[in-house]
Structure 1
Amino acid sequence: MKRRVIMVGVDDSASSRAALKWALKEAVWTGAQVEAVLAWQREDAFVPATSMGVHPYGEKPQRHPAQELHFAVVDMRAEVPSAPDVVETTVVGQAKDALVRASRHADLLVLGTRGHNALVGAVLGSVSAHCLKHAECPVVVIPPRAVPS
């Protein structure tokens, strides 16, 4: 029997971490495999730290997207007892397109939502809305109110 796959969109937001935590809990309950996907664009390229750990322009050095994803996974797995291992994937491109592609190989797609407008919580973010319309599997959107403060 094929193992179910829960795909999760992860970025640097609290809502995506809540989505990852939800997916891990669901995987514990159902025995599914969790795959976390972080999409980034080349123009969002990380600023590498110097050997001294200080960026020459005084900016805070950023981690490579694969490192950001890994740390998010480690943090959320620590919060979910008996969480399964997570397949971590970073892709270059727009999140909405990467997640729709990933949905082709998933049984469930889990997303957080930012809702960058005055109606936060009432209106989905653009990535969530796009995925709800175009994903090739069921989609669960974790609302902002589910994110711990």
Structure 2
Amino acid sequence: MDVDGTGTVVVGVDGSPGSRAALEHALQDAARRGSRLRVVAAARLPEYWATAYGMIAPPPVSEVVEQVRVAAQELTTGVTAAHPDLAARVPITVEARAGSAAEVLIDASEGVDLLVVGHRGHGALSSAMLGSVGLQCVLHATCPVTVIPPVPASA
């Protein structure tokens, strides 16, 4: 909870259907709690830059982060348009940070009431083998974590 007594819910988004479901859940939960909502997206940067191999220079890091932030804002705008009653009651901020999704979200969990992430539904074995973002958040976040299962496809 913040100094002014208002709580904060953080949700990680990446543009996937799972992250949309997580954003919808986080918006509903923030409205129920009377909390703020922070929408956080991670801008994964390449491990190496190809300029050493004669390829064109990559865009500046700030430009990559801004592109990710704009995409997260567009997703947020779509969700809030679908739920205007909730969006009117919840202060929402959208941010993007450079880094891996797990590292960015674990950092964003510091001092907040809840972290919400989506689950892509790869299954238990596959998720464990891949080291899913959700699993890393559950293990290392400094607040409670809610993992939202994928929305079933309509028949």
TM bracket (short chain): 0.7 to 0.9
Aligned to 2:138: 132
Aligned to 2:102: 96
- Pair 1:115-2:118 in alignment: no
- Pair 1:105-2:111 in alignment: yes
Aligned to 2:92: 86
Q: Which has the higher helix share?
A: 2
**Inter-partner Cα distance in structure 1 for 2:15 and 2:32:** 26
Aligned to 2:14: 11
Offset at 1:147? 5.4
Number of equivalences? 128
Offset at 1:27? 1.5
Q: Provide the secondary structure at the position in 1 that maps to 2:14.
A: coil
**Inter-partner Cα distance in structure 2 for 1:12 and 1:131:** 18
**Inter-partner Cα distance in structure 2 for 1:5 and 1:14:** 23
**Inter-partner Cα distance in structure 2 for 1:79 and 1:141:** 22
Verify the 8 A CA contact 1:108 1:140 in the aligned structure 2: yes
Offset at 1:115? 3.5
Verify the 8 A CA contact 1:18 1:147 in the aligned structure 2: no
Superimposed CA distance per residue, residues 51-108 of structure 1 (whole angstroms, 9 cap, x where no aligned partner): xxxxxxxxxxxx9111101101101111222322311110000010011111012110
**Inter-partner Cα distance in structure 1 for 2:21 and 2:38:** 15
Aligned to 1:31: 34
Task: Single out whichever of 135-144 and 22-31 deviates more from structure 2.
Answer: 22-31
What residue ranges of structure 2 are gaps of 5+ in the alignment? 48-65
Q: Cα RMSD (Å) of the superposition?
A: 2.4
AA at the equivalent of 2:10: M
Q: Provide the secondary structure at the position in 1 that maps to 2:139.
A: helix
Normalising by structure 1, report the TM-score: 0.77
Offset at 1:29? 1.5
Normalising by structure 2, report the TM-score: 0.74
Verify the 8 A CA contact 1:15 1:147 in the aligned structure 2: no
Aligned to 2:148: 142
